[in-house]
Structure formats: C-alpha cells, structure tokens
A and B are shown apart, each in its own frame.
Chain A
Amino acid sequence: MEINWSSVIGIVATPVIAFIVGVLYGGAVRKITARVQNRYGPPITQNLFDIIKLYSKKTAIQHGVMQHLGPVFAITASVTSLYFIPVIKDSPYFQNFSFNGDLIFLLYMMVFGSLGMALGAGQTGNPNSAIGVSRGLSQMVGYEIPFVLALVAIMIQFKTTSLNELLAVQDHFTNWIIFQSPLAFVAGILAFLGMMHYAPFDVVIAPAEIASGPPSEFGGKYLGLMMTSGSIFAFVKLVLFVDIFLGGASDFITLIIKTFLLYMIPVLTGIVSPRFRTEQSILFFWKWPTFIGILAIIVVVLNG
C-alpha cells in the first residue's frame, strides 16, 4: 500500500494546529473580555500556561473508570470531528477523512463528547455535576433544533449532505451560503451562540452557584485534557461554520480571519449579556431561531 505522505502530515498536523489556534483564541477572548471590562487582561498565551500547568500537576484523583475516561471521550469527539471537516479548501494536507463522512455524521459525532463528559461527570457523585449535566443536556435540546433547521435548509437547497460539496458550491464570494441562504445563517448563528456556551447560555458551568458544574470534580491531568479538548472543539465548531456559511478558506490566513470574526459574535454577545435560566434559554431557541429556521426551509422549498 502506498502511503500518501501529504495526508499523513495532515493527520498529525491538524490537531496540533487546531489546538494552538484554539488555545490562542481562548487567550484572546480573555484579553478582549478584560479590555471590555477596562482591565489590562492576561497575556494571550494564558490558556496555554493554564493547560501546561494542569498537565504538570503532580497528583490527581478519580472516582472510578467512567470519570477516568470522561475527558478521553471528549477529546475523541473533538479530534474525530476535526478529522472529518475539510479545514482548508482544496489543500492536500488538511482534508483528512472529510470524504468519508457528512454533516449528519458530524452532528452526531459532536454530541459524542458531551455524552462522554456527562457520563464522566455523573460518576463523580457530585450533585453539582449532575445539576450541570441536567442543564447542559436540556439546553442542547434547545439549540440543536434551530441548528438542524439551518442545516436541513442548506441540505435541500444544494441537494447534498457532504461538506466538500457544499464547499465546492461556494466557489466565489457571491456564492457563499451566507448570501445564498441568509435566513439559514441567522438560525445557525443563533444556535451557534448556544453551542459555544458563552453568556447568556452559560448556565451549565455557572461557577458561583454550582461550582463550575460538570467539571467540578476534575483536576490536574483530567481538567487539562478537557481544556485541550475544549480548545480543539471550539476550533472545530468555528471551522464547521466557516465551511458551511462563509465559503471555507483556501489558505491559512483567510481561515484565521474568518474564524476569528465568527468567534467574535458569541464572545461579544457574551461579554455584555447576563445569564438565562435553563428553561428560558430552551424557550429562546424554540421561538425566534426556530421560526427563522422554518422560514429558511419554506423559502428554499418555494424557490426550488
């Protein structure tokens, strides 16, 4: 069997790049938040220091095998989803396995990690973790609906469920799906706010009331792996949205610009927002975003 070296390099390099970009974005968010609050803020590499520190913790505790494997589930979901997304359009290095999966697969792959984390958090026996999980799963039912509506609208508009084909459609600036199907974009981006778990949808990890919720019993290497996974996963979600709505990126700088701009939407919303209760955020997602998503489908059906 002939080894395709460019794809091997891609497989090794993609998670590393995703991690670095995700970590730096995380640091940038803290910096931006600080500037908005009229603070100086931590250095942009702060999240990297945090992760290295967590890995260099000398001791760790676990309540059982499920907690031990919880972060492993999370990182598996993040990296696997990453491999099935074309990170850079038409590049031989960063396609990975994107031809072997499609959008519905990604939709399910992305909840794999949440489920694993929920199981891990469940075994700790900490009531706060269980409350956090209960809130997180409930909220997921909220934002998945507008997200799926947006995806279905796009799928039936372009008669494909493959990300690569969606990228091929958006060959020119004017053909980006954000312009071809703006309603789907609006529904998708509102769901995206919930997916990123920034305020006002951060009731899951409310640190002051439920002691950071699901991860409250995780420390040291476990928390380190979770933060690594979280950084990669943030990047995955950003690239997915860029690929779906913003025509992907054919080089690295475009990717950074597009993902960063996209990232600013939930971040800047989050900085100035208070927090929704769980049922409020569920009902929020089931009202306007869902309505817009349905409208998007109706528009597509009428046009097509």
Chain B
Amino acid sequence: MVSLTTLYEITFGGAILAFIAQHTIKQLRTFIVIVTSALGVYIVWRLPSQATDISFRLGDFQILWGVNEYSQLFALLIAVLGFFTLIYSIDFMKERERLGYFYMNFLIVIGGMYGIVYSQDLISLFFFWEIMTWSSFMLVIYCCDDAQSIGLKYFVFSAIGAYAMLTAIVLIWANLETTSLSVLFENFTNLSSGLQITVIVLFIVGFGVKSAMMPFHVWAPDAYAISPTPFTALFSGALSKMGIWGLGIVLLKLAAQSGFYVWVQDIVAWIGAITALLATFYAIVQTDAKKLLAYSSIGQLGYIIVGLAIGTPLSIMSALFLAMLHGIFKAMLFMSAGAVFYRTGSTDMNEVTGLIRKMPWTFLTALFGIITVAGVPPLGGFAAKWMLYEATIQSGHYFLVIVLFAASTAAFLYLYRFIFSLFLGQEEKEYADIKEAPLTMTVPMVIMALFTLVVGVFPGIFINPIGNAMGYFGNYTFNWDVSSLLNEWGNHVDMMTVVMTIGAIFIIAAIFITIKNYRTTRYVTTKDIHTSGEIPTENENLTYAVDFYKPFERAIAPVLKRSIDKTYNLIAENLESAFDFLRYVYTGNGQTYALYVVLFLAVLMVFAELIFGIQL
C-alpha cells in the first residue's frame, strides 16, 4: 500500500484529523501528528521501489505524478525534517493556543511540498505550490504583533512569484500545448528564443522568491524570525529548498538547452554570490538570534544558487549536497535558538548569555551547527564548501570564488556571535535557574548533530544518492570512494584520513590536558575573572554583547550605509506605500476578490488571444 496517493491521503487526512482532534480529543492530536509524519517518512522511503506513476485528466490538462531520483532526494529531506520538527514541536508548542490550526497547516505544508517534488506536470506543480504558500502564510501569521504586516510582505512576494510562474505556465501552454514537464524538456528548443528567455526568467523569479534570491529576499528575515520555531526550522530547512528544487530544473533542464545558457549561468551565479555576501554582512549586524539565522539562511541559499548556476557536475553536486546539509544544520540551529527561547523567553543576543552549563545538549547542537555552516573540517559542511570552491575555480569563475570566500570567512563572525552570545560569556544571575530543554526537543537536535559528523566522515552517504539524483539532469558519474572528495583536476581530500588525524590528535591532547594537574585544576565561576583585582558584584554587568562587531561594522560602513540606509530604506518606504495601495486592492471583501478573479481571467484571455493567438 505504498503509493503517492496514499502519501497524500495520509498527510492531508492527518492534517484534517489533527484539526478535528484538537476540538474533540486533545490527547489524540499529538499522536495523530506524529504517526502521520512517521508514516510519511516510511512511505517516502519505500516509494522508489514500489510506486508507479499516477496519471489522470483534469479538464484539458493531463495530471501526472511520479517518482524520480531528484524528487526523492528532496522528498526524503522534507519527510525527515518534518518528522523531527514535529517531534520538536510537541513540547515547544505545548502552552500555545490554536494548536489545531497550527498542526493542520503544518501537515498541509508538508503535504504540499511532497506534491511539488512529485508532480510531473506544471498544473499540479502550481496547485501544490499554492497550497504550500498559503499554509505557510497561515503559519507566518500564527503569532505575535507584527505578524500581520510581515505576513503581508511574505504574501506579496509569494504572489509575485506565483504570478510569474503562472504566466510562464500559460506561455508554455499557449505555445506547446502541454503541461507535462518531460514534454516541455524535450520541446523547449522549439520555442522562439524570446519566449525561451521569458519563460526562464519568469521561472527564476517564481522559484527565486522562495529561495530568497537577492532582490526577492526582503520577506525572508522577518518571516523566518516571526514564525513559530518548529515551523521556522522546516521553513528554512525544507520549504526554501522547493525554490532550489525548481531552480535546479529551470537552470539545468530548461536554460541549459537555450542559447542564453552562458548568460543565465553568469548572471544567476553572480546574483547568488552577492546574495551570499550581503546576507552575511547583514547577519553580522543583527541582534536577534533568529534574524541572524534567517540572514544566514539567505546567504547559504546564495551558495546553493551559485552551485546550481555554474552547472558543472561538481558544482551541481556541491549545490545539492549543501541543499541537503543546509536543511539539516539550519534546522539544528533554529531548533537550538528555539530551545533557548523556550527556556528564557528571548532570543535577543544582547540579553541572553552564558547558557552553556545549563543547556549542554543545546549548546552541543549549536556548536555542531556553526562548525558545519562555517565549513570547517571534520563536519559535513566542509565537503560542500570544498566541492563548491573547486568547482567555481575550475569552471573559470575566478572572481566569483573570491566573493564566496569573503562571504564564507565573514560568516565566522556571525556564527561566533550566535554561539558566544547565547551560550558562552558571563553566566548571569538572571539565567541561573534555566534547565535543559525537554527530551523531545534535545533528542531530534542531537540526532541531527551527530548526523552532520557522520556526513563529515563519510560524505559518500550523501554523494552517492545525489549522484543518482543528478542522473535526472544528464549522465554524470561519480565513482568516488565513500569518504573522499575529488575535483576535476584530480586533486582530492580523503575525509577518513582527515577525521582520523583530527580525532587522534584531539583525543591525545584532551587526555593530556585533563590528566595533567587533574587534582589541582579548579572550576571557577565566570565572575571569578581578571578584573584588575576588583571583585564584581552579583549585579555587575560584565557581558560584552552590545555592538559586538563594532570595528567590523565601521570597516564595512560604506557598504551597509549604501545598502541599508539608502537603497534599503527607499525600498522599504516604497514597499510601505505599496502596502498602503494594496490595502485598497485587498479590501477584505469576498465580492471584490471574485471581481478580481473575473478581471484577471478576462485579461488573460485577451492576452492569450491577442499576443499568442490561441483560444482558451
């Protein structure tokens, strides 16, 4: 009984059941949610061997759902992340209200994402895309004061993306009379070159919005920061990957066939690199941990976009590797920030401090998370970064790689800020009674943290399935060892040796420093520090957190000033007025909306007839 329909039935059915259970038998709700997502993991795992394609007609359109290796990769990420974040949410969301609403939308998002990756035609893709967008919008506006305006921002950008995508679908339908992806891939070159570039750009806009590409990233930091943390983990970990999934198809299946490929490649790659650099700079100046992670997320997605755009086998590999890994480590980081929020009620990095001894497992997760993001060996991030740089250099993007390196080095700053402010530093009296987060929160985090280590030692467990998935784009072969990385010039890094060396030296040194003077080594509190002989009182503030990177901010002030103070404010002001305008458009009156739909269809028909000469 493993098939796509079962998957959809179980996920969407579970969503409705959870909503009903909330209003009838509350105890069942959690059970239903967990079972649903666990079944999701199981079905997705078994799908490739058992599922058959499903096809039926809906009006004029042929609907086609099927499983391929590329979809499978993303589906597994969604399923696993969904499962972990839902387990995490059990305790995190316990005290909140409207849980039926929350869990229903959560499961619908997961179902929508399954639908996106498994759809083989544009109509169901768009349909599931909208389901995902709407239910995620519902979760963004779930809580807190500014949720309305932030949700509106998210909605506007999603709408821009969706309309762009819809226009592209209409154009394709009008010219090729097909909605099937495979037919589209075969006949794409039959389109006129103007149409080709239009379709590509529209799709890039459509998918780029979700993957927070630079001009369309404005919604992301706020939306990530305001949505409830379990969902933020999924939002940044899996939902943004839908954009990457789409960009992969557009860049490597459609654009690769067109005559503009080189231009598209370079432009998208540069957009990705600049996204990475600027997002990193913005992340450095943030004071809220979740916002910092949100900008970090945008930056990492920038790397992935660069990898996809460059389009050599190694770069695609690195992009997909990073996409999978980003799903895991960003979920880890958001979860640890969420655990801090759960216990202290704040993620303000100027306030919360010194939690390491109170929340050791959360700290461990955050530590593994930042080491992975930084790309420092021996954790998994290194493999991704290594492949990306090698691919970028070897494909001749010499200045691109400098921008990436700069972003990557600057990333150390905000990563250190994150872990230092929340976990290290002075242990203040205010947080003396904080306890470790409950098991349902720590266990998923720690499992994922250990997984990053495993990926670091054996990158092969990612590389091999990704290699298979890349079969979708062409005939790439990766006959690598399970623990080694290889570039196109034949240079390699043997991760096994690296990890063994690091491990051996680390253990020897750790044993040495622990045994040496073991009896006369004392633990002292963080108040017992060198303060020129002065004895700090209990309420004395010795935390160094505010304006942590002032010198660096001064150095990059020209960049920040130009982008934030001027352009960015200008955009924000314009957006504000745009929202004012939208308030007239979105009146909240159902009849007005109905009128819009009719008007839109009419305009569409007129355009279709006038420009493309087809009868809808």
Which A residues lie at the B interface, using CB under 8 A? 55, 57-66, 68-69, 71-73, 75-76, 79-80, 83-84, 97, 100-102, 104-105, 108-109, 111-112, 115, 118-119, 122-128, 130-131, 133-135, 137-138, 140-142, 144-145, 148-149, 152, 155-156, 159-162, 165, 211, 216-217, 220-222, 225, 277-279, 282-283, 286, 294, 297, 301
Contact = CB atoms under 8 A, between A and B. Distances in A.
Contacts of B489: 159-161
B406 interface: yes
Contacts of B327: none
Contacts of A109: 376-377
A66 B419 CA distance: 12
B571 interface: no
A75 B508 CA distance: 10
A41 to B, nearest CB: 28
A283 B555 contact: yes
B544 interface: yes
Nearest to B545: A130
B427 interface: yes
Contact of A59 (B492, B517, B523): B517
B611 interface: no
Contacts of B367: 119
A83 to B, nearest CB: 6
Contacts of A100: 492-494, 497-498
A71 B509 CA distance: 9
A-side binding surface: helix, strand, loop or mixed? helix
B551 interface: yes
B521 interface: yes
A58 B524 contact: no
Given A66-B424, A148-B402, A217-B530, A101 B523 contact: no
Contact of B399 (A122, A278, A297): A297
Interface stretch (B97-105, B179-187, B223-231, B408-416): B408-416
A133 B543 contact: no
Nearest to B353: A125
Interface in B486-521: 487, 489, 491-494, 497-498, 501-502, 505-506, 509-510, 512-514, 516-517, 520-521
B521 A61 contact: yes
Interface stretch (B37-45, B255-263, B384-392): B384-392
Contacts of A221: 513, 516-517, 521
Contacts of A71: 509, 513
A66 to B, nearest CB: 6
Contacts of B371: 115
A137 B374 CA distance: 13
B409 A140 contact: yes
Contacts, number: 230
A226 B522 CA distance: 19
Given A138-B551, A278-B551, A301 B398 contact: yes
6 contacts: A109-B377, A127-B542, A134-B552, A144-B409, A220-B517, A225-B512
A72 to B, nearest CB: 4
Which of A83, A122, A278 has the most chain B CB atoms closer than 10 A to its own CB? A122
Interface in B540-556: 542-544, 548-552, 554-555
A225 B513 contact: yes
B476 interface: no
Contacts of B416: 115, 118-119, 122, 133, 137
Given A64-B523, A80-B505, A125 B427 contact: yes
A156 B393 contact: yes
Interface in B64-121: none
B34 interface: no
B505 A75 contact: yes
A75 B506 CA distance: 8
Residue of B357, B487, B529, B548 with most chain A CB atoms under a 10 A cut-off: B529
Nearest first, the 6 A-B pairs at minimum CB distance are A125-B526, A278-B551, A122-B424, A138-B552, A100-B494, A130-B544
B465 interface: no
Contacts of A126: 529-530, 542
A297 B398 contact: yes
Interface string B38-72: 00000000000000000000000000000000000
B525 interface: yes
Contact of B523 (A63, A119, A149): A63
A80 B502 contact: yes
Contacts of A297: 398-399
B232 interface: no
A55 to B, nearest CB: 7
A112 B376 contact: yes
B386 A105 contact: yes
A108 B385 contact: yes
A80 B526 CA distance: 31
A124 B377 CA distance: 25
Contacts of A55: 516
B405 interface: yes
A253 B581 CA distance: 77
Nearest to A220: B517
B356 A123 contact: yes
B526 A105 contact: no
B375 interface: yes
A236 B552 CA distance: 28
Contacts of A119: 367, 416, 419-420, 424
A152 B402 contact: yes
B426 interface: yes
Contacts of A83: 501
A97 B491 contact: no
Given A105-B377, A115-B371, A155-B393, 6 more contacts: A72-B506, A80-B498, A104-B389, A118-B416, A137-B552, A225-B513
Given A130-B548, A221-B517, A105 B498 contact: yes
Contact of A127 (B386, B514, B543): B543
Contacts of A75: 505, 509
Contacts of A125: 354, 424-427, 526-527, 529, 542-543
B517 A58 contact: yes
Contacts of B497: 97, 100-101
B382 interface: yes
Contacts of B412: 111, 115, 137, 140-141
B32 interface: no
Contacts of A145: 402, 405-406, 409
B530 A111 contact: no
Contacts of B512: 225
A294 B377 CA distance: 28
B401 interface: yes
Nearest to B487: A161
B360 to A, nearest CB: 8
Contact of A108 (B377, B529, B544, B554): B377
A59 B524 CA distance: 13
Contacts of A140: 409, 412
A111 B376 contact: yes
B571 to A, nearest CB: 26
Contacts of A160: 489, 491
Contact of B551 (A108, A123, A134): A134
Contacts of A277: 551
A97 B419 CA distance: 32
B492 A102 contact: yes
Nearest to A284: B555
Nearest to A110: B376
A50 to B, nearest CB: 17
Interface in B452-505: 487, 489, 491-494, 497-498, 501-502, 505
B219 to A, nearest CB: 28
Contacts of A279: 551-552, 554-555
A133 B420 contact: yes
Nearest to A70: B513
A138 B549 contact: yes
A72 B509 contact: yes
Contacts of B523: 61-64
Contacts of A211: 530
